[in-house]
Amino acid sequence: MKFYSLKNPTNKSNFKDAVIKGIADDKGLYFPEEIKKLPTNFWETIENYTNEEIAFTLIRPFVDNMDDATLKQILSETLSFDFPVKQIEKNIYALELFHGPTMAFKDVGARFMARCLQHYNSNNVTVLVATSGDTGGAVANGFYKVSGVNVVILYPKGKVSDIQEKQLTTLGENITALEVSGTFDVCQDMVKTAFLDKEITDRMQLTSANSINVARWLPQMFYFAFAYRDLKKHDKEVIFSVPSGNFGNICAGMLAQKLGMPIKTFIASTNQNNVVTRFLQTNKYEPKPTIPTISNAMDVGNPSNFVRILELYNQDIEKLKEHLKSFSFTDEKTKETLVKLHQKNNYIADPHGAVGYLGLKEFGLSDNQIGVFLETAHPIKFLDVVEPLLQLKMAIPEQINSVLNQKKHSIEIATYQELKEFLIKK
């Protein structure tokens, strides 16, 4: 399978090189040249398939330079935890994606990508990644001790939760955390500048582990298909509401739809960082600086994957609007919903999941529809918000407990020059 750059369709690469490079030389995101529907029969009999079989069927066409047995092995390691669908209300379900090692859905993409890089045996790759919260932990954990790969994570000082910070600053070994005075957008800009800086790229192979990397992005198709399988027996139309920041997750769901998954509607639920919500109303794409919110993993002013969504629809905005809805919510509304979900539905959501739930409510489900919101992180990761609001103490899961007592190691930086010096010294 070839992937082409969204900046120049004649600039092509195979999967292997797309994973190693992260982004094309012209700085375009990679996009698959061919998106072929899977046999209808696969979707009609999906209840007979295991998670690993579904994942293999979905991703096999995209992956090259890897035999079936290796791909199956990588998938079985990537997916070694549960993806339960829990009923919250009569026709509303939560797809819990937080049962992995860092308790965020990004574990799936990060684990898959790390294993691909290891398989391709590309020695001395430096993974450079900016995080607004959860990416850093998932990437640190997924790449920990992967030989030949150094990981450098930039995160905005004081703007990630304590648990998130511990998850990305305590591992050591091949993982370094850089604590940046500035917002997530500042971190992301530094990373983008580094990718363009010949003095750096002449010295080392840089790659990204954000959802711009195809090996992070594509595996996110899987759990939409798992949930579809689990809910198929109800014989109703399934609608996914995806709490969205960089729009990688929802874009992967929409790719699964192009592979024939019988889903008509996706809802991009956002916080006040709502450039896409506004775009679908006005047809004008007007990024704004990031606004900090309590759902901080979605504090993204200019989501990188939106160009992929447009490409999935051949830039046909009207067609896109038939399948993609978007609603945006304030922190006030999100807090109110966290309380309501706890008191009325006996469910402890995290702020991102609550935004997803709100999206379904705003959409307004009919009787023949089932709504699924993605619970993208365990509420414990946002305990500073959730505990005071619900007036309770949550038990700390083992995965989290094991990092909480570790010592934080980070290097503070404020300017691009400092990042550059750090990379070159390495």
Give me the residues that bind ligand PLP (CB under 6 A), please. 104, 106, 133-134, 211, 243-249, 297-298, 352, 376-377
**Least CB distance to ligand PLP at residue 248 (A):** 4
CA angle, corner 74, sides to 68 and 76, nearest 5? 100
Closest distance of CB 97 from ligand PLP, Å? 8
Contact 101, 141 (CB under 8 A): yes
Nearer to ligand PLP, 161 or 170 (CB): 161
DSSP state of 219: G
CA trace torsion 129, 134, 138, 144 (10° rounding):
60
Strands (E), 71-114: 85-89, 92-96
- Helical (H) or strand (E) element with 412: strand 411-413
Whether 205 and 126 have beta carbons less than 8 Å apart is answered as: yes
What is the C-alpha separation between 49 and 316, in angstroms, rounded? 34
CB 58, CB 259: distance < 8 Å: yes
CA triplet 69, 70, 71: central angle to 5 degrees? 95
Minimum CB distance to ligand PLP smaller for 242 or for 423: 242
Of residues 71 and 324, the one with the C-beta less far from ligand PLP: 324
Nearer to ligand PLP, 42 or 243 (CB): 243
Shortest separation between residue 197's beta carbon and ligand PLP, angstroms: 25
- Triad 191, 196, 199: Cα angle to 5°: 105
Closest distance to ligand PLP from the beta carbon of 66 (Å): 24
Amino acid code (one letter) for 339:
V
Q: In angstroms, what is the minimal distance from the CB of 182 to ligand PLP?
A: 19
Q: What beta strand segments (E) does 225-346 contain?
A: 237-243, 266-270, 324-328
* Residue whose entry in the numeric block shows the structure tokens 């969504």: 309
For 64, other C-beta atoms within 10 Å of its C-beta total 13
- Per 3-state DSSP, what percentage of the chain is helix, strand, and coil (rounded to 5)? 45, 20, 35
**For ligand PLP, the closer CB: 97 or 116:** 97
Nearer to ligand PLP, 245 or 371 (CB): 245
- Residue 303 CB, nearest approach to ligand PLP (Å): 7
- Minimum distance, C-beta of residue 245 to ligand PLP, in the bound complex (Å): 4
The burial of 368, by beta-carbon neighbours within 10 Å (0-12 exposed, 13-18 middle, 19 or more buried), is given as exposed
Task: Please report where in the chains the tokens 């600039």 appear, as a residue.
Answer: 11
Q: To the nearest whole angstrom, how small is the minimum distance from the Cβ of residue 217 to ligand PLP?
A: 8
CB of 396 to ligand PLP, least distance (A): 18
* Distance in angstroms (rounded) separating the CA atoms of residues 226 and 391: 34
Nearer to ligand PLP, 122 or 290 (CB): 290
The residue of the chain with the least Cβ separation from ligand PLP equals: 134
- Three-state SS for 239? strand
- Of 104 and 324, the one with the shorter C-beta distance to ligand PLP is 104
* Distance separating alpha carbons of residues 217 and 207, to the nearest angstrom: 14
The Cα 314–Cα 276 span in angstroms is 17
Q: How far is the CB of 134 from ligand PLP (least distance, A)?
A: 3
Measured from the CB atom, the residue of 190 and 298 that comes closer to ligand PLP is 298
* Comparison of 32 and 353: residue with beta carbon closer to ligand PLP: 353
The answer to whether 231 and 93 have CB atoms below 8 angstroms apart is yes
